[in-house]
Amino acid sequence: MKQARPFISIVIPTYNRPEQLSVCLRACSRLDYPHDRFEVIVVDDGGVTPLDEVANQFRDLLTLKLLRQENAGPATARNRGAFEAAGEFLLFTDDDCAPAPDWLTTLAAQFSASPDCAVGGETSNALTQNLYSTASQLLVSYLLAYYSGAPERVRFFPSCNLAFPAKRFRDVGGFDVSFPRSAGEDRELCDRWQHRGHRMIHAPEAVVYHAHHLTVKTFLRQHFHYGCGAFYYHLLRARQRQQPMKVEPPAFYVNMLTYPFGKIPFGKAIQVVPLLTAAQAINALGFFWQRARGKRGMTRSEYSAT
């Protein structure tokens, strides 16, 4: 007798981006997975624009739940969706992402083979003509390669394409809601997951397309916030392990600046490298600014700010 496919819950936090959410839900409606074996849970994190009209367009195409909460940040929104989910497995993506049609099928195969593991998929930049979006995605790709490259480094995957067995996710406490921005809470959860002895595996065939339009202003603001989140992440990790806070060696930054030349055309890489340099400078500024303020100085911000 053929085993039934696992029932999966897709959790999407959103804040004031109804157009992007509509594109994401359209992509979910085209997934080549039996539609009676997954649900989509949208968590409106206190946005100004009601989302009922957007959700109603897809109620005949998807098993869709629309939840609403007071603005509390993406970590809280993801947990809200996860703790109300019916799925045996939880998939997280963002409202500005469009999963590839075989996304669920690919991840379901990973769940069948390794049901106790967290799984990180691949994120592809959908705005290839936007240099800022290209630089930001290349940086994420470099980090994933770097932290997966040696056993002593803790593997992590971004929350826009990250999956967990539901029970274990709840057992470890989900995302740390003291992170008010989308900046570091996924890395902290991956670190805590592995610190508890659980494994993470990479499924590069499970792709989502990320369409996060950036300008010079939003690019720099994003990486400043990443720096703030990095300080908080390193602080929590050092306290958990009762060891000094550690930062990356100089080779980490040198290799980052050479990384684009193996991934994109030379002419575009020449344009991207200064952006990566600027991103790291502003990231460091955010890190030391947050250290000066202390972790309790962190405040909430809109998703559009990150």
pLDDT in tens, 62-114: 999 999 999 999 999 999 999 999 999 999 999 999 999 999 999 999 999 99
Neighbouring residues of 35: CB distance < 8 A, sequence distance ≥ 6: 61, 62, 63
Please report which confidence band the pLDDT of residue 182 belongs to, taking 50, 70 and 90 as the band edges: low
pLDDT at 103: 98
Neighbouring residues of 184: CB distance < 8 A, sequence distance ≥ 6: 226, 229, 230, 232, 233
The answer to whether the pTM exceeds 0.85 is yes
Distance, C-alpha 262 to centroid of its chain = 24
In this predicted model, what pLDDT tens digit does every residue of 19-55 receive, in sequence order?
Answer: 999 999 999 999 999 999 999 999 999 999 999 999 9
pLDDT at 306: 38
pLDDT higher for 302 or 229?
Answer: 229
Other beta carbons within 10 Å of 244: 7
The helix (H) or strand (E) run that includes residue 110 is helix 103-113
Neighbouring residues of 195: CB distance < 8 A, sequence distance ≥ 6: 240, 241
Residue 298 has pLDDT above 90, yes or no: no
Domain boundaries, the chain: 8-305
The CATH number of domain 8-305 is 3.50.50.60: no
Residue 202 has pLDDT above 80, yes or no: yes
Please report which confidence band the pLDDT of residue 220 belongs to, taking 50, 70 and 90 as the band edges: very high
Beta strands in the chain, from DSSP E residues, in sequence order? 8-14, 38-45, 64-69, 89-92, 97-99, 118-125, 162-165, 200-210
Please report which confidence band the pLDDT of residue 172 belongs to, taking 50, 70 and 90 as the band edges: very high
Length of the chain equals: 306
- CA neighbor of 91 nearest in space, from 164, 182, 13: 164
**3-class DSSP state of 284:** helix
Distance, C-alpha 6 to centroid of its chain = 23
High-pLDDT (> 70) share of the chain, %: 92
Average pLDDT over residues 121-130: 95
Q: Mean of the per-residue pLDDT values for the chain? A: 90
